[in-house]
Amino acid sequence: MRTVTLSEAEGRLLELIRRVRAGEEVLILEGGVPIARLVPPEQENPALLRLERRGLVRLGTGRPQLEDLSLPTSEASVLQALLEEREEA
């Protein structure tokens, strides 16, 4: 993560934006204290990205198409669907 002072950020904003677009994070300091962080939109949740890098989660690629799912029609069939899903895994 790149660290810059507020006055540096003001003078180099376009360069910093280019770096952020390339995936880099930029921490802006004022008086040695962090006051802002520039991150690409897909990195809005750094904790989730750390989990993805460790292979613990896989981030989605878009909105789920829930209307395409076939849902069970009764409580008994919900249990049966769950058991069948577990057998497939």
What is the pTM assigned to this prediction? 0.48
Count of domains for the chain: 1
Q: Does 67 reside within a domain?
A: no
**42 inside domain:** yes
Yes or no: say if 54 and 29 are a contact pair by the CB < 8 Å rule.
no
Question: Is residue 11's pLDDT more than 90?
Answer: yes
Note down the domain range covering 17: 1-58
| Residue 35 belongs to some domain of the structure | yes
CATH code of the domain in which 38 resides:
3.40.1620.10
Query: Does 12 or 63 have the greater pLDDT score?
Result: 12
The total number of residues written for the chain in this structure: 89
Q: How far apart are CA 89 and CA 78, in angstroms?
A: 17
Inside any domain, residue 85: no
